Amino acid sequence: MVKTLGLLLASVMLIAGVYYFRQQSQKPAQEIHYHAGYEVYKDGALQDFSDLKYMDMEPCVEGEKEEEEKEEHDLDLHDGIGNVAHVHGEGVTWRKLFEYLRQDYPDASVTAYMNGVKLDQVLDKKMNAYDRGVFFVGEDSEQQKHIDESMQRITKDYIVRIEKKGESCTK
């Protein structure tokens, strides 16, 4: 009797566990979408990435995304705004941003400040929501001035305003 009761209890627990894990696996994965701001100075000149060639331009049909033609990116830029990255992937690094922008800088030539703090090997660091990066490639005799100006332009409030603007075809 005790053995039968134990088997029955174990069976009920097993069925409940299978049901629970099956329900969990059927839940849609949480969509990743956050934003980080940045500016890049090359030989002292602020680079402009707001050109259409840097934007993710999704074809729209009657207000909807045309899914079969959409190329998926872990990150992209939208709406002519060239200093805020939209991150859509897990563990996206700053290197991925430069790859997306088709800017191939040797690691040794990049000096970076993240949220106002100088970091080494920043290209391999994960982008986080509301990060604010200032990148220098080549020589720049006015780095501190440029850091200060960039930190005033790409504030968290600025990034939040960009978030609220929406994205192509979606809002």
Range of the domain at 74: 34-165
Q: Are residues 55 and 136 in the same domain?
A: yes
Q: Are residues 48 and 7 in the same domain?
A: no
Q: What token pair was written down for 88?
A: 């859509």
Which residues of the chain, if any, have pLDDT below 70? 1-30, 58-72, 166-171
Q: How much of the chain exceeds pLDDT 90, in percent?
A: 58
| pLDDT at 31 (0 to 100) | 84
What is the sign of the dihedral through the CA atoms of 110, 52, 81 and 54?
A: negative
Q: Are residues 20 and 81 in the same domain?
A: no
| Listed residue (80, 133, 71, 136) closest to 103, CA to CA | 136
In terms of Cβ atoms closer than 10 Å to its own Cβ (0-12, 13-18, 19+), residue 46 is: middle
Across 51-123, where does the E strand assignment appear?
60-61, 64-65, 75-76, 84-87, 110-114, 117-119
Q: Are residues 5 and 38 in the same domain?
A: no
Asked if residue 170 is part of any domain, the answer here is no
Q: What angle do CA 38, 106, 95 make, to 5 degrees?
A: 40
